A and B are shown apart, each in its own frame.
Chain A
């Protein structure tokens, strides 16, 4: 299966839509954008990638690709060979959260398989031989875990994963060893950000061994008031225990955010409403919007919808705009390379079009 052609042929289809995890459905979806679980796996009998030669890399890629396609891991699996993909295609996949930045920037034989709904993605030859990812809309950790657990079981029947009874699943970096699991919940916390209470959240989750990251994971900065809460430890606790720690923390953060929103409405209603309506006005009227600015505007309007101020935009549209207005998506949409000034114009006109329902 070669997806290279498909990326070009169906560019409009893909670049105008997003994965199901941006639908804005699921529990607490006013605040929880998505629930994601990833598992790191390596194949026994091969060195980790930093020590694998070209031949071994190719063998790993081919073995995993064939197994994933044969075992029908998800519906209508597409496969992209990243070694042959263009820079824009790779960025496009990063923006859709189908691959990581490291995977895009890597070298040698590597690829990604993903299902049609983009709920499931399997990165081959990222930092580990295999990274399985399942991402769902809203606060749906249980469902997300069930899906990934099943995929891991199916693959585990065909593949021999590097495993030790002492250390669990063996990974290239000892930070992932054990369950190889990282759970990340993406939260939209504009009120906690505005009132600076977000620092307290950071401190509290830090004490539980959890960590707060930006929109695109490790080392990325926070923008659009979007935060990812994830576990740092992967060993010494079972998958279920790790899930339940995060499961118990998230509702506290979401209720804290709701309290902060209420307080803002009570104490500075005029300023808050002005800010939200101005943002809405900008999105509907501006002729140039930078990638930084759009995140702030979308964040404000999203909160406006959540507190019942704005009622003529679908949550799904707002969620999707966070991704569809990113640089590679805009370039895919236009079908050509654009510099940042050109992108700012296209971004503004695309948003106007989407908000006017044209």
Chain B
């Protein structure tokens, strides 16, 4: 069957038009179909609706939606739907998304309270940890997972020895 519009190419798109209870079959080639369907009002897809809703409620989600914590594996979207973070590292990984949330919850985002007893030694480690986390993110971005696992283990080791207590 040839396209009813250009009458040249093979009709591959078959539309059923209903006008005042009268059904009409129409057949177009791909190019002509494009022109015809462009005139139809396009209904937004469910994912379009969802995205626009999310953008209205929490604009940071769009930006953060592809971020996943390389340490615990939680994605920003999972966090937003469950309301619970996966590990302490998330505060760094999701910082951009978390900051406005934390500001809204607490009216501030800078801790001024108590510092744990052993934080002195911690602060020394902190710089190294920040560096390691940066490297970890880079490794993940480059899809160098072997390196990422190595870095993750080093981060865990530095941020508190798992075997310490026993």
Q: Please give the residue numbers on chain A whose beta carbons come within 8 Å of chain B beta carbons, in ascending order.
A: 42-48, 50-51, 59, 62-63, 66-67, 127, 149, 152-153, 156-157, 159-170, 172-175, 177-179, 181, 209, 232-239
In chain A, what residue has the closest Cβ to B105? A175
Interface size class of B (residues with CB under 8 A): 35 or more
Contact A127 B84 (CB under 8 A): yes
Q: Please give the residue numbers on chain B whose beta carbons come within 8 Å of chain A beta carbons, in ascending order.
A: 71-74, 82-88, 91-92, 98, 101-102, 105-119, 122-123, 126, 156-157, 159-162, 164-166
B78 to chain A, nearest CB (A): 9
> CB < 8 Å: which of B71, B72, B111 contacts A178?
B111
B-chain residues with CB within 8 Å of residue A175 when the two chains form the complex? 105
- How many angstroms from the CA of A44 to the CA of B73 in the assembled complex? 17
Given A63-B166, A67-B165, A179-B114, A45-B160 contact (CB < 8 Å) = yes
Contact B91 A47 (CB under 8 A): no
Contact B156 A172 (CB under 8 A): no
> CB < 8 Å: which of B82, B112, B117 contacts A238?
B112
B-chain residues with CB within 8 Å of residue A127 when the two chains form the complex? 84
Q: Which secondary structure dominates chain B's binding surface?
A: loop
> CB < 8 Å: which of B107, B115, B122 contacts A233?
B107
A146 to chain B, nearest CB (A): 13
A-B contact pairs, 28 of them (CB 8 A): A42-B88, A43-B160, A44-B88, A46-B162, A48-B88, A50-B74, A51-B72, A51-B86, A51-B87, A59-B165, A59-B166, A67-B165, A165-B111, A166-B110, A167-B102, A167-B109, A167-B111, A173-B84, A173-B85, A175-B105, A179-B111, A179-B114, A209-B107, A233-B105, A235-B102, A235-B106, A238-B113, A239-B113
Contact B106 A47 (CB under 8 A): no
Given A160-B164, A167-B111, A237-B112, A50-B105 contact (CB < 8 Å) = no
Q: In the complex, given contacts A46-B160, A169-B111, A179-B113, what are 6 additional A-B residue pairs having Cβ atoms less than 8 angstroms apart?
A: A43-B160, A48-B84, A165-B119, A166-B110, A175-B105, A233-B105
B-chain residues with CB within 8 Å of residue A159 when the two chains form the complex? 165
A53 to chain B, nearest CB (A): 11
- Total A-B Cβ pairs within 8 A: 145
B-chain residues with CB within 8 Å of residue A51 when the two chains form the complex? 72-74, 86-87
- How many angstroms from the CA of A167 to the CA of B156 in the assembled complex? 19
A-chain residues with CB within 8 Å of residue B106 when the two chains form the complex? 177-178, 233-236
Contact B111 A62 (CB under 8 A): no
- How many angstroms from the CA of A45 to the CA of B122 in the assembled complex? 12
Contact B114 A63 (CB under 8 A): no
- How many angstroms from the CA of A267 to the CA of B88 in the assembled complex? 57
- How many angstroms from the CA of A239 to the CA of B114 in the assembled complex? 7
> CB < 8 Å: which of A50, A59, A66, A237 contacts B162?
A59
Contact B109 A166 (CB under 8 A): yes
Contact B166 A62 (CB under 8 A): yes
B-chain residues with CB within 8 Å of residue A156 when the two chains form the complex? 116-118
B-chain residues with CB within 8 Å of residue A239 when the two chains form the complex? 113-114
In chain A, what residue has the closest Cβ to B157? A45
- How many angstroms from the CA of A234 to the CA of B109 in the assembled complex? 10
- How many angstroms from the CA of A299 to the CA of B1 in the assembled complex? 86
A40 to chain B, nearest CB (A): 12
A-chain residues with CB within 8 Å of residue B85 when the two chains form the complex? 48, 50, 172-174
A283 to chain B, nearest CB (A): 42
A-chain residues with CB within 8 Å of residue B108 when the two chains form the complex? 233, 235-237
Contact B91 A167 (CB under 8 A): yes
A-chain residues with CB within 8 Å of residue B86 when the two chains form the complex? 47-48, 50-51
A-chain residues with CB within 8 Å of residue B116 when the two chains form the complex? 156, 161, 163, 169
A213 to chain B, nearest CB (A): 17
